[in-house]
Amino acid sequence: MSKSLWPEGKRIAVALTFLLESWSEGKAPPYSPMTSPPKPGALDLAGIQWSEYGARAGGYRLMRIAKQHNLPATFCVNARVAELFPAVVKQVVASGFELAAHNYAQDQVLPGLTEAEERGVIRRSVKLLQDVSGVRPCGWLSSTIATTEHTADLLAEEGMLWHGDYNYLDLPCRVKTRHGSIVAIPHSDYADNRVLRGAPRDWYQCYKDMFDFLYHQEPDAFINITIHGHFGGRPLISAVLDQMLRYITGHPGVWFPRHDDLARWVNDRSIDEITYAERFSL
């Protein structure tokens, strides 16, 4: 590629994706730091309380850290969070961050739904977030990144700008649907919950090594850093996130866009999929 892909000749784009999640009534995440699950049929109160940390504290900490580094971020939020903890959703918007939709509940995955049911989940989720925040989300990330053959079409039908369920792409690009194009944004391969029962330092080292490799060897690269409020919003991961952001911002030529700003950049320049071979003339 003869011309830089990013604004002002930036060398790399880094997006911050912060997740605020909630499970259905009486449900807990299928994972947690607790190694002894409750008896079958018993209420997993410890898991439920653990999952609520993101809306009660973790999300606010992530906002504070991003603001300290003067960085934008995109918060992908289950609409049930808006019902149970409206204050954190309002704070996301008041703090200048992007609010994106992330299904209604985290355990309500899209595969297995009919097209009409999936359309209903999308519309309900977007409306609830808009009603609470006063801002209509323009982006969508499915819970557990579980998408269907209809998801992109339904999101475009609803006028959404971007869709974040893509794992076959290196770079954001436009994809075609029955209702026009939508911007596909690759998600993270190594979110914070990968070190759930390991060492947060492993997460830091993974992202540092990836950033160094792409920054020095692959200009016009893209990194999506994904952090869950109920896990990464706790001090044990937030500490290394803070260090990681300090490290990355110490390098010149890094662009930190919100997802909506990234998507508009892609749309305005009609950027379709750029293969690895095309990028490096293989």
- Of the candidates 24, 3, 46, the one whose C-alpha atom is nearest the C-alpha of residue 143 is 24
Cα-based distances in Å from 198 to 193, 194, 202: 9, 8, 8
User: What distance in Å separates the CA atoms of residue 10 and residue 4, rounded to the nearest whole number?
Assistant: 7
- Of the candidates 145, 183, 180, the one whose C-alpha atom is nearest the C-alpha of residue 161 is 183
Show me where the domains of the chain are located. Answer: 7-29+43-280
Q: What is the chain's pLDDT, residue by residue, as a tens digit (282 residues)? A: 457 899 999 999 999 999 999 999 999 888 877 777 778 888 888 889 999 999 999 999 999 999 999 999 999 999 999 999 999 999 999 999 999 999 999 999 999 999 999 999 999 999 999 999 999 999 999 999 999 999 999 999 999 999 999 999 999 999 999 999 999 999 988 889 888 788 899 999 999 999 999 999 999 999 999 999 999 999 999 999 999 999 999 999 999 999 999 999 999 999 999 989 988 877
User: Tokens in use for 14?
Assistant: 């880094």
Q: Rounded to an integer, what is the distance from CA 92 to the centroid of its chain?
A: 14
Q: Counting beta carbons within 10 angstroms of the beta carbon of residue 238, is it exposed (0 to 12), middle (13 to 18) or buried (19 or more)?
A: buried
Give the per-residue pLDDT at 2. 53
Give the per-residue pLDDT at 173. 97
User: Tokens in use for 61?
Assistant: 């900490």
Are 164 and 146 in contact by the 8 Å Cβ rule? The answer is no
Please enumerate in sequence order all residues whose Cβ is within 8 A of that of 206, keeping only pairs 6 or more positions apart, or say none.
190
User: What distance in Å separates the CA atoms of residue 193 and residue 227, rounded to the nearest whole number?
Assistant: 8
* H/E element, 79: helix 79-84
Which numeric CATH code is attached to 7-29+43-280?
A: 3.20.20.370
User: What distance in Å separates the CA atoms of residue 144 and residue 274, rounded to the nearest whole number?
Assistant: 26
Give the per-residue pLDDT at 238. 97
- Of the candidates 51, 42, 57, the one whose C-alpha atom is nearest the C-alpha of residue 87 is 57
